[in-house]
Amino acid sequence: MTVLTDRDIAAIIREREALDLCCSGSESNVLDRTSPLDRTSPLDRTSPLDRTSPLGWIPLIIVGNGGHGRVIADLVEAARKYRVIAMADDLCTDIACKDGIFHIHPDKVRELVESDRNTKVMIAIGSNEARSAMVQRLGLALESYATLVHPAATISGHAYIGPGSVVMAGAIVNHSACIGAHAIVNSGAVVEHDTEVGWFAHLSPNSTVAGNASIGDGAHIGIGASVIPSIRIGAWCIVGAGAAVVRDLPEGATAVGVPAKVIKHRDCRYEIRT
């Protein structure tokens, strides 16, 4: 493995300073107002170290360069609170720079974050298991992760979104909902009042979780699936696309259909809370 040298870090910092100069006009005055998180609310607790640079943006490293990573990059561009300085992927063996963004190996992320504590990280991997594994692999403190919310999402000022989590365009998170760390609330998903979504969970596009429900750590709710009020879905469950969950599901269950029926179970041995 190639070690990130002082010269490499200096090159990334120089590139970031060049971006600073490019962004230092009137645009920087409106950056903070575009993000739904830029107001006093319980959401502020999710990113205790997130503070904008004098030029109005926070440097961000995206880990994952697949389809989900590109969607995350689009979200960052739309929200204009962060600016992507690097993308990390296992396919990157050497440091390269393209369009002002460095492409690096994930093993170099920790060194880059330690070189500038204002830099944040987002794990842009759709698989819950792979996202969990990458978090363990990086070994970063929880406060090193960004919380990303698309400006077209609707977030209650009384909701909580955990570090490392992302809320996509058109999603709704209502009063007293709590989204754990490293979760995905995908495009058009709805999380109703007083619902808890666990760490590393993924609510797929247009899924709906009604009020007072609980989605366990690592659970995956499929596209267009529905969960009725007060249902408990265990850790690492999989709910199929279009399913309607009307009964509690045990840990590791896979359920499909209307109403959803358990078709198999899987072993759950993930150590995910770091």
Domain positions in the chain are 6-30+48-144, 148-265
Residue 189: pLDDT band by 50, 70, 90 thresholds? Answer: very high
CATH dotted code for 6-30+48-144: 3.40.50.20
pTM: 0.81
Report d(CA 66, CA 89) in Å as an integer.
Answer: 9
Q: Where are the beta strands (DSSP E) in 130-198?
A: 148-149, 154-155, 160-161, 166-167, 172-173, 178-179, 184-185, 190-191, 196-197
Query: Is the pLDDT confidence value at 23 over 70?
Result: no
If one compares 22 and 124, the residue with the highest pLDDT of the two is: 124
Structure token digits, residue 69: 């990573």
- Lowest mean pLDDT, pick from 27-36, 72-81, 104-113: 27-36
Q: Which amino acid is at 176?
A: S
103, 105, 158, 193: the catalytic one is 193
Q: Which fold has domain 148-265?
A: UDP N-Acetylglucosamine Acyltransferase; domain 1 (2.160.10)
* Of 241, 256, 173, 248, the residue nearest 205 (C-alpha): 241
Question: Does the annotation count 68 as an active-site position?
Answer: no
If one compares 96 and 33, the residue with the highest pLDDT of the two is: 96
Please tell me what DSSP assigns to residue 85.
Answer: E
Query: Is the pLDDT confidence value at 148 over 60?
Result: yes
- Lowest mean pLDDT, pick from 109-113, 252-256, 269-273: 269-273
Q: Do domains 6-30+48-144 and 148-265 have the same CATH topology?
A: no
The single residue listed with the structure tokens 């969960």 is 227
